[in-house]
Amino acid sequence: MALVGIIANPESGKDIRRLVAYGSCFDNQEKVRIVRRVLLGLRAVGVDRVCYMPDYHGIVPRALDSLKIDMAIDPLVFDARGDQRDSTTAARLMEEQGATCVVTLGGDGTNRVVAKGTTQIPILPISTGTNNVFPYMVEATVAGLAAGLVATGAVPLGESTFRSTRLDVKVGDKVVDLAIVDVAVCDDLFVASRAIWDFRKITQIFLNRAEPSSIGFSSIGGLLHPVRAEEELCLCLELGGTGSFVKAPVAPGIIERVFIKGSHLMRVGDEMPIEGAPCVLALDGEREVEVRRGQDAAIRLAAEGPVVVNVQRTMSNAMKRRLLVSATDHAAAS
């Protein structure tokens, strides 16, 4: 029996960038509707067990209201704190209980803390946050089908997933945190408001994904030297000066000239020192780590990032395997 986990972050899509940029609010009622469609997609391909992270809004229980569906759907049992630690704990418990796929609703930050709980279970990330690079803008029904095909083994992992790299944050000789998309070095002294939005304070950016069509930090690197999600590379940019610049969409509705002093490509195992301590490191868009004066800090590119479901590849290989086509329909098409 296939077990799929659902981690829906009730806080995603509501940060300060709604005030300092032109981002849309993503309310929890929409997340309820997304989960409802995910569940219907999962059931259609044979998933019969679901576990989920409890949250203060009750996203999954609300999705089940008036939904008649033949599945065992149960909350994880743990001491919920109502913050990002819940997503990490939920991911760890899902791995322990044998889940074979996890569907997440959130942004880059949500998926970062999920990756802190597991990098073994394939993640299918649905975007409900801001400036997202890691999760997909995908119809939830299709996401449910793809997650179910992966979870049941109908489409093998080699045909449906890839392993991303991760960015390890080192202070001294110890890895203290990680990022799954980017690390930005800010010349702040304290974490304060977690979401980062003032590019004048950023001195370095590390990107293990950089696409020209992305938004946020990833767009800056993508317009200089694209790095695909599947590549084992990291682009390190040094910002500042008055010479070369990139005109990039750094936030919803915000296009800025970002001046570039230099760039460097890192490969798996490479480390690059953080310059300018004291400073604060923003991980996947949110300030998380304070580096104090006199501390040595560095970013290391590691191979063991999260396993990610590629929805397009999964559904294409389901088509090639005729998984959603009946024998009668196949004969008629011939």
Average the pLDDT over 244-272 and give the result.
Answer: 94
Q: Which residue has the higher pLDDT, 315 or 250?
A: 315
Asked whether residue 39 carries a pLDDT value surpassing 60, the answer given is: yes
138-147, 162-171, 322-331: segment of lowest average pLDDT? 322-331
Asked whether residue 245 carries a pLDDT value surpassing 90, the answer given is: yes
278-314: b or e for each residue (b if 16 or more CB lie within 10 Å)? ebbbbbbbbbbbbbeeeeebbbbbbeebbbbbbbeeb
Cβ proximity of 131 and 305 under 8 Å: no
Q: Which residue segments constitute the domains of the chain, with CATH numbers given? A: 3-164+306-333 (3.40.50), 166-302 (2.60.200.30)
Average the pLDDT over 303-326 and give the result.
Answer: 97
Average the pLDDT over 11-25 and give the result.
Answer: 62
Average the pLDDT over 107-134 and give the result.
Answer: 92
Given pLDDT bands bounded at 50, 70 and 90, which one contains residue 24?
A: low
Identify the residue whose tokens are 């004066």: 293
Query: What was the pLDDT predicted at 190?
Result: 62
66-70, 153-157, 197-201, 309-313: segment of lowest average pLDDT? 197-201
Query: What was the pLDDT predicted at 98?
Result: 97
Given pLDDT bands bounded at 50, 70 and 90, which one contains residue 223?
A: very high
Average the pLDDT over 5-11 and give the result.
Answer: 95
Cβ proximity of 25 and 14 under 8 Å: yes
Query: What was the pLDDT predicted at 252?
Result: 83
Average the pLDDT over 279-308 and give the result.
Answer: 95
Kindly report the three-state secondary structure assignment for every residue of 59-101. Answer: HHHHHHCCCCCCCEEEECCCCCCCCCHHHHHHHHHHHHCCCCE
Picking from 21, 213, 4, the residue whose alpha carbon sits closest to that of residue 124 is 4
Over the stretch 162-221, which tens digit does the pLDDT of each residue have? 999 999 999 999 999 999 999 999 987 666 555 665 677 899 999 999 999 998 899 999
Average the pLDDT over 245-268 and give the result.
Answer: 93
Mean pLDDT of the chain, nearest integer = 91
Query: What was the pLDDT predicted at 56?
Result: 93
Asked whether residue 266 carries a pLDDT value surpassing 80, the answer given is: yes
Query: What was the pLDDT predicted at 333?
Result: 54
